[in-house]
Amino acid sequence: MLAEANYSGMSGASGATPLVSARGISKHFVLHETLLARYLAGAKDRAVRAVDGVSLDVYPGETLSLVGESGCGKSTLGRTIVGLYEPTSGQVMFDGRPLSGPDALPRASLRRQAQIIFQNPYSSLNPRHTVRQILGVALAARGVPTRERGAETIALLRRVGLSVEHIDRYPHQFSGGQRQRIGVARALATRPRFVVADEPLSSLDVSVQAQIINLLQELQEDLGLAYLFITHDLRVVYHISHRVAVMYLGQVVEVAPTDELFENPLHPYTQALLSAIPSIERHRRRRRIILDGTVPTPIDPPLGCRFHPRCPRRAHRCEEDPPELEQVAEGPGSRSHLVRCHLAASH
């Protein structure tokens, strides 16, 4: 059974300094096209605007879930925050220090303090390495002497619910859930303070998903970890998150405490996402909102509000004037409700 989020234990709720801050982060991928395609596009290489001007904070000890449709930029944002991608523009701060510039946090220090759990446990582990070797690389990055790595590896395996007998096995000898536990152990090996969990449940059976979620919550409680939890499963989000950020076409459109977002969603896109959650409780059922059309291409996003071509409430202003992410309800510390919508006040 998944435990619901405990707001009283969230450091960010008391106004603590963010552990991770992203300010105006953009990540564009240039398309190196054929001469004909460049001619038709005006002799310029086009770019996929995967992330476009995102700002958000993650506080010590909290879980901030990042949700949205496939292709909205969630994983790209997570990888940019932990330094796997260099941002096209903007700045990421970790514990008050920038990740670029003359005063940048050294990369080795970032790799120890910020880790990522990848989506696919079948492709994220080196098939030619045993568990001992996989975890040994991470322990070496932390500076653990060779003679101590065996004991550290055994301790990590026990920490994630595996046994000593697994230490010299290869990834193909494990189930999907066990492989994801190895991925969690690898992330823990550097003793991080912040972990990006990039859709860590999507390739697992439902029963195994619950086990991994419970493991992540136990580790957070014991170690004080902060998570950026990337997912499209809003039922999981409700149970594990302190706050939720909703992304659409490269931008964050709403951020709120979990209970506030589920009870009072303000952005039309968030309302549509929540309306799709099935419920057996009649009083909790929402009227299903079916959006028109398809998600526009991030190569050429719409002018004005990016959601306006599909928005059931769009006004003329939405087609021309891009809205800012603004506070609409004040909460203690990090718990303010933010929304990127001209019509939020009329909700």
The kind and range of the H/E element at 177 are helix 176-188
- Each domain of the chain, given as residue ranges in start order, spans 258-347
Per-residue pLDDT of 247-272, as tens digits, reads 999 999 999 999 999 999 999 999 99
Higher pLDDT, 156 or 123: 156
pLDDT at 242 over 50: yes
Position 333 scores a pLDDT of 60
Position 7 scores a pLDDT of 32
Nearest to 104 by CA among 79, 86, 116: 86
Higher pLDDT, 305 or 335: 305
4 — pLDDT class (breaks 50, 70, 90): very low
Nearest 5°: the CA angle 67, 54, 335 is 65
Mean pLDDT over 149-153 rounds to: 95
What is the Cα 293 distance to its own chain's centre? 26
Per-residue pLDDT of 51-91, as tens digits, reads 999 999 999 999 999 999 999 999 999 999 999 999 999 99
9 — pLDDT class (breaks 50, 70, 90): very low
Per-residue pLDDT of 93-105, as tens digits, reads 999 999 988 888 9
Question: Are 44 and 38 in contact, with CB atoms under 8 Å apart?
Answer: yes
2 — pLDDT class (breaks 50, 70, 90): very low
Position 332 scores a pLDDT of 65
pLDDT at 3 over 50: no
Per-residue pLDDT of 152-208, as tens digits, reads 999 999 999 999 999 999 999 999 999 999 999 999 999 999 999 999 998 788 889
pLDDT at 38 over 70: no
Is the C-alpha dihedral spanning 111, 117, 119, 123 positive or negative? Answer: positive
Angstrom distance (rounded) from CA 234 to CA 265: 13
State the pTM of this model: 0.89
Position 280 scores a pLDDT of 47
